Structure 1
Amino acid sequence: MKKNILSIAVLLMAVCSSCSKQLDGIRPKDQIPQEALNSNDINTLRVGMYSQMENVLFTFWFDFDIKAGNLKGGPGFTMSSDYVNMSPSDAAIATMWQTAFLALNKINFLLETIDNNPQPASFATIKGEALYFRALVYYHLAARWGGMPLLTKRTYDVVQRSTEETTWDLIKADLTSAEKLVANYSDRFYVSTQAVQALAARVYLATKDNANAIAYADKVLSYTTSGFTLSADATAYASQFVAGSTARELIFALANNTAANPHLFYQQVNDIDGSWGYSPASDQYTTLFADNEAAAGDKRKAATFSADNNRIIKFPNGISGQQLVSTTSAAYTPIVVSRLAEIYLIKAEAQGAGSAAAATLAPYFAARYQTTPTAAYLTGLNATGLQSLLLNERRREFYAEGYWWYDIKRTNRTDLLPALNSRNYLLYYPIPQTELDLAGYTKNEGY
């Protein structure tokens, strides 16, 4: 094991600094001089971009649940009790950074290739997809590191970090451009207008632009042509995470069905061999879906935990008795990016306490609980009460989907992360030591 880790580290260092010396890519089409490419190559580059995004999102997937105490070490792994702590030398931190910048390079290569070729109408859609993915990558980077080196074209020059505000501005600009280029929803496994709008709603909520968060949430909610529908029972909820899912709650997911590039979710939390990396944290297994004064009978529990308190069955492993719903392939769990439930929760949070948020939440609660909160209860919540309710819902809804740590950070509810123990500098990730050494980036405070 130690030898394998060392080999990976050496490989990553040999690859080079992600920003100070950009790669031309890792797939054959990327290695052809750009001037030699033509319009026939663009679809090949598009496929490579989608594949690379699967790598990015899977690399980031369990990170926020680990850092925020949703998980503990499973049968095959012992996790540190100080799970929130980080240092610039952490291999996982470097892997996330470098995987993201490899994807940005591939995205920018595709954008440049499109701009350098005559553009059939279909190229506009592909360009919109690339801009959406660039925004999505930078969302994950900004959420962790704050201000980032902003790469909108490939370069071999050192690009220093921009401010956090400027990083968010690029994300918003890319989404604004993408919204005008991609088509309305027709397939959950391809970027659509509604996928762009869903991510924009998330970004505007994160940057405290509540008016735009509501506006973009409404764009998704008002698009009735697609037939987006909240899952109404545990089976429907679980069906969002099976191979080739046709769940009507999915706005956008990556199909994750390429045998040559598999991302095996179940091996992390629900393996078939009795050894896997992560299990539910003990307090989460016993209390996450507990009844409270407002609601009872959470339908998601049966789709998330099994009677075995070591397993998270949200990602099915294909074994009878160890999953709620069957799947055609345990290896092909979709990598979910946006679901309809998030849109309701974004809109209600942006609306704030009062009757408007209560009305927004009514269909959401009806889909998720046997006994739902009354309108009077929801309307009577003050700002802090509504925030606590919504954070509780987000923790339930997106358990093991990579949301919780950033939900704590963006709402400044550090009381929900006792392991932080006043070390608030840990709300920003350390710049990887390899990047500090090669590019001379400014460190984040505290490291």
Structure 2
Amino acid sequence: MQTVLTNGIKYIHKKTLPVWGLAFLLSSCDSFLDVKPKESISDAVTIVDRTSAETAIRGVYSALASGDYYGTSFQSIGYLSGDNIQWTGSQSQVQEFINKKVNADNSTISGAWIAIYRTINRANNVIEKVSTVTDPQLTQALKNQYIGEAYFIRALAYFDLARTWGGVPLITKPTVNPTDNVGIARSSQAETYAQVLKDLEAAEPLLPATTDRYRATRKTVWALRARYHLYQKEWAKAEEYAEKVITDAANYKLTKPFSAFFANDARGTTESIFELFYNGTTEVNSHRGQWQPQTNGGTRQWAPNDALVALLNNPAVGGTRSSLVAKDNQNRWYGNLYYRNPASDPSYILRTAELYLIRAEARAQQDKLATGLADLNAVRDRAGIAAATAATKEELLLAVENERRLEFALEPHRWFDIVRTGRAAAVFGVTDPNRLLLPIPVQQLLSDKSLTQNPGY
């Protein structure tokens, strides 16, 4: 039976977490991920040889791709909390994000918290156990790769926790018993971000310097480090790590037109640095159901609002990004980034366009206006719109902010972008600084008295 643990981790008694099948070809990302689940085995013997090590690292990716993490719930926090999306359904908890007044009993934040810590626990198991396995087929190179992937995913998980909730409990060992994590107090937000950097630094030398859009590599680490340093306002570092990826132009470049990275069943294009694979049968991306209208088999629980539709459909502003929205048979607009049936749409975590806009912002902050403007205009050119002519640092930063709003209109960036730049009051009208972090889910507070709530909740 399953029992929810302190800090949202699930302890599985005499039953392992769901795992993926065992077919494995390093030369094919699809074959690594597009496999059928197998029956569970005891968690005590989950990682004992190469086969079970491969199964375990698949399980980490599976947790990352789950419906409550990058499948739907966590992503929805990032865009529902912004100013691009309207709520059309019947669940009042969705409106809480749009109103910027999320309650601690909101089931979306509870599900996301649990899913992120589940991902961390699976990563912890790989990090701790793979290095001790003795199997001639599990070479040191493979051990390094699996452990490096786990470090990267754990870094991403703690990054998402830090920017959403602030400081959180730092758990870096596998959960074995239901009481393992009782009494672990919250670290500060700075300490949580420090854990992110520590994990990224651990991952980088372990991972191969190859190009893989579905699995973490050294280049994937560079991309996340660029985002991390941007959030930390470490402009030179953000520029440096964005440049590491952008200069690999043979593998990472902006696709034209804008929709080329997602339309017509595209996946794994040069636009993508890291995306999550779903096969549409055993692993389904439930995201499409929230966006697509009823005539397409969805529920259209949320949709682009009038302001976003106007911006995207303005040829001088949205350009070819108008492909993100479409009309149903009732003349209603809906989001069209997730559209595939069966639901095999990738979830896009790191894109080449983000690296250009990170470098543009970082350069602007360092008063490198000409090169920052060039990066911004590379993204605008891909969208089929005229070059910007920002003449000052302030104009360029605002232009980058506006570009990010449309470039990632249906992706989980807008809320976090405006919060990290200190513009929530000006853009969203959020004047209470306590509302810039979400509340710790009430279930977690009830299960562990050592946890404290964020101020204002």
TM-score by length of 2: 0.83
Equivalent residue for 1:433? 442
Q: Map residues 230-309 of structure 1 onto 2, 5 A cutoff.
A: 230-239=254-263, 243=265, 245-257=267-279, 259-271=281-293, 272-273=296-297, 275-288=299-312, 290=314, 296=317, 298-306=319-327, 308-309=331-332
Between the aligned residues of both structures, percent identity stands at: 25
Instruction: State whether residues 23 and 105 of structure 1, in contact with CA within 8 Å, keep that contact through their aligned partners in structure 2.
Output: no
- 1:191 matched to 2:216? The reply is yes
Rate the CA distance shift 1:428–1:274 in 2: closer, same or farther, 3 A.
closer
- 1:371 matched to 2:371? The reply is no
Matching residue within 335, 349, 359 for 1:337: 349
Q: Map residues 143-154 of structure 1 onto 2, 5 A cutoff.
A: 143-154=163-174
- 1:389 matched to 2:399? The reply is yes
Name the CA distance, whole Å, in 1 between partners of 2:119 and 2:317: 43
- 1:310 matched to 2:351? The reply is no
| Matched position secondary structure for 1:279 | strand
When structure 1 is superposed on structure 2, of 171-180 and 254-263 the one drifting more is: 254-263
Name the CA distance, whole Å, in 2 between partners of 1:263 and 1:35: 26
1:334-356 Cα shifts (integer Å, max 9, x gaps)? 01111100000001101114222
Instruction: State whether residues 325 and 333 of structure 2, in contact with CA within 8 Å, keep that contact through their aligned partners in structure 1.
Output: no
**C-alpha deviation, 1:186, in angstroms:** 3.2
**C-alpha deviation, 1:183, in angstroms:** 1.6
Specify every segment of 5 or more residues in structure 2 that has no aligned partner in the other structure, as ranges. 19-38
- 1:406 matched to 2:431? The reply is no
Instruction: State whether residues 231 and 367 of structure 1, in contact with CA within 8 Å, keep that contact through their aligned partners in structure 2.
Output: yes
| Matched position secondary structure for 1:80 | helix
1:400-441 Cα shifts (integer Å, max 9, x gaps)? 111110001100111454353x22211111111111122221
Rate the CA distance shift 1:274–1:215 in 2: closer, same or farther, 3 A.
closer
Name the CA distance, whole Å, in 2 between partners of 1:303 and 1:92: 24
Name the CA distance, whole Å, in 2 between partners of 1:257 and 1:234: 24
Rate the CA distance shift 1:289–1:166 in 2: closer, same or farther, 3 A.
farther
Equivalent residue for 2:111? 95
Q: Map residues 67-78 of structure 1 onto 2, 5 A cutoff.
A: 67-74=81-88
Task: Answer 1 or 2: higher relative contact order, Cα 8 Å, separation at least 6.
Answer: 1
Equivalent residue for 2:30? none
Rate the CA distance shift 1:183–1:258 in 2: closer, same or farther, 3 A.
farther
Matching residue within 162, 165, 174 for 2:199: 174
Q: Map residues 39-58 of structure 1 onto 2, 5 A cutoff.
A: 39-55=50-66, 56-58=69-71
Name the CA distance, whole Å, in 1 between partners of 2:143 and 2:63: 19
| Matched position secondary structure for 1:370 | coil
Equivalent residue for 2:4? 15
Instruction: State whether residues 408 and 416 of structure 1, in contact with CA within 8 Å, keep that contact through their aligned partners in structure 2.
Output: no
Rate the CA distance shift 1:243–1:131 in 2: closer, same or farther, 3 A.
farther
**C-alpha deviation, 1:111, in angstroms:** 1.2
Name the CA distance, whole Å, in 2 between partners of 1:408 and 1:64: 11
Name the CA distance, whole Å, in 2 between partners of 1:423 and 1:289: 33
Rate the CA distance shift 1:36–1:255 in 2: closer, same or farther, 3 A.
closer
1:179-220 Cα shifts (integer Å, max 9, x gaps)? 111123333112122111111100110011111101100110
RMSD of aligned residue pairs (Cα, Å): 2.5
When structure 1 is superposed on structure 2, of 82-91 and 17-26 the one drifting more is: 17-26
Matching residue within 122, 132, 150 for 2:152: 132
Name the CA distance, whole Å, in 1 between partners of 2:91 and 2:155: 33
**C-alpha deviation, 1:262, in angstroms:** 1.3
**C-alpha deviation, 1:164, in angstroms:** 0.8
Specify every segment of 5 or more residues in structure 1 that has no aligned partner in the other structure, as ranges. 1-10, 318-328
How many residues align structurally?
A: 413
**C-alpha deviation, 1:133, in angstroms:** 0.3
Equivalent residue for 2:36? none
**C-alpha deviation, 1:167, in angstroms:** 0.7
- 1:207 matched to 2:198? The reply is no
| Matched position secondary structure for 2:385 | strand
Instruction: State whether residues 201 and 212 of structure 1, in contact with CA within 8 Å, keep that contact through their aligned partners in structure 2.
Output: yes
**C-alpha deviation, 1:83, in angstroms:** 2.5
Name the CA distance, whole Å, in 1 between partners of 2:253 and 2:77: 29
Name the CA distance, whole Å, in 2 between partners of 1:68 and 1:362: 24
When structure 1 is superposed on structure 2, of 406-415 and 266-275 the one drifting more is: 266-275
Name the CA distance, whole Å, in 1 between partners of 2:318 and 2:99: 31
TM-score by length of 1: 0.85
| Matched position secondary structure for 1:51 | helix
1:5-55 Cα shifts (integer Å, max 9, x gaps)? xxxxxx99x423235885575236673315972333101111111111101
Name the CA distance, whole Å, in 2 between partners of 1:394 and 1:124: 35
Name the CA distance, whole Å, in 1 between partners of 2:433 and 2:314: 29
